[in-house]
Structure 1
Amino acid sequence: MNKQKALELAIFFAEFQQKMIQQNRIEIARFSNKKMIEYSALYLKLSNCSVR
């Protein structure tokens, strides 16, 4: 996976999370949040950034 794809997936899951919250589908929103965090962290790792 490359940086661009990781960022695109993080953005997708962030937007999807908001849609699920609006539809009151909290469990799916939590799953989307976990995936968004996962892909955001991967993006940072591929970008050689560190998070404190």
Structure 2
Amino acid sequence: MFNLKNNSQQNIANSSIQQLEKRIPPVSDQALIDLVNGIQINQNILNSRFA
């Protein structure tokens, strides 16, 4: 009986994760690289303006 309860909790957790995955759009590696590069560029601009 304990195994059934534990198994049903795992199923609920798995379905919650699957629902979240559907809501989050996939991000390509290039998008992540562009994001990091953009943050670095913005930080450099701020550093040069306030230096």
Indicate the TM-score class for this superposition, using the shorter chain for normalisation.
Answer: 0.3 to 0.5
Compare the two structures and name the one with the higher helix fraction. 2
Greater length-normalized contact order (CA 8 Å, ≥ 6 residues apart): 1
Higher alpha-carbon Rg: 2
With structure 2 as the length reference, what TM-score do the two structures score? 0.44
With structure 1 as the length reference, what TM-score do the two structures score? 0.43
